[in-house]
Structure 1
Amino acid sequence: MSGEPVGAAQELPEYAERVLELAELIPPGRVMTYGDVAEWLASEEPPADGGPGRRGAPGRPEGPESDVPDRPGEGGGRRGDGRRTGGPRQVGRVMALYGGGVPWWRVVRSDGVLLPGHELRALERYRAEGTPLRTAARATAGHLPRIDMARARWDGVPPGGGGARQGADDSTGDHI
């Protein structure tokens, strides 16, 4: 993560714009993994009215997308409508290059480990936003907590829209 917002004169690739737009939608105190972001973007389906949409959302037709990876194992490709798709690594690359101007700390590793090199800055943000964290074991290097993924993970449904993942049992883990 460079920490520097992209200048107005620099054109972002379309896929990068989509990743950054989604990062901005993640509510405070919630997170999405790199893979969640990639999956969410791959399942987008532009609705007939031109507004934002998602495959399987109410009123949207469901059906297979035509994602064809560029190379075997890369996870990136193009959808049937020609829009770029990507996997977790592509999302991570976008966040590393362009993520400084968005809430980068809300796009995380699936194991909840804090972003190497940015742990203390991220931890400060998580605490300020009330993001659920798990206490680190004494054997953990640096004794840094992890994100409590079961409670903090967000599925992309806007608050109040129903269906967002809520921790099934708030008594698990510690809120730091």
Structure 2
Amino acid sequence: MTAAPPSEYVEQVLDVVEDIPPGRVMTYGMIAEIVRERTGSGSARTVGAVMARYGSAVPWHRVVASDGRLPPGHEIEATRRLRAEGVAFRGEKVAMATSRWWPGENAD
């Protein structure tokens, strides 16, 4: 079993996820890029580990894979929540072109 990421990294990831507006999504890699700018370290895989361990307190369903795949094992609930927020889908994946969000962009 791998060691848990440092608490500062965990807090940074959770802060970014909390800022994702309803109806929009970010990828693990996008979150890693923002946190890396703040802390100097991190990867999409580490963001995934943080979300798996600590993500239940934030809007976890708004974090998806780069191709729009939903969190493994939570696809049904994530789909339900995202559809309720108005997120567009292409089949079983989030339509990333219209749903992706970056901090500082207009949430509309």
Q: Number of matched residues?
A: 103
CA contact under 8 A between 2:18 and 2:58: conserved in structure 1? Answer: yes
Aligned to 1:124: 80
Equivalents in 1 of 2:77, 2:47: separation in Å? Answer: 20
Instruction: Please give the alpha-carbon distance, in whole angstroms, between the structure 2 residues aligned to 1:151 and 1:32.
Output: 12
More helix by share: 2
Structure 2 partner of 1:140 = none
Match of 1:153 in 2: 100
TM-score (norm 1): 0.55
Q: Find the partner of 1:14 among 8, 17, 28.
A: 8
**Structure 2 equivalent of residue 57 of structure 1:** none
Greater Rg over alpha carbons, structure? 1
Q: Secondary structure at the match of 1:154?
A: coil
The residue aligned with 1:26 is 20
Shift in Å, 1:158 = 5.4
- TM-score if structure 2 supplies the norm length? 0.87
Runs of 4+ in 1 over 3 A off after TM superposition: none
In structure 2, distance between residues paired with 1:114 and 1:99: 14
Please provide the CA RMSD for this pair: 1.7
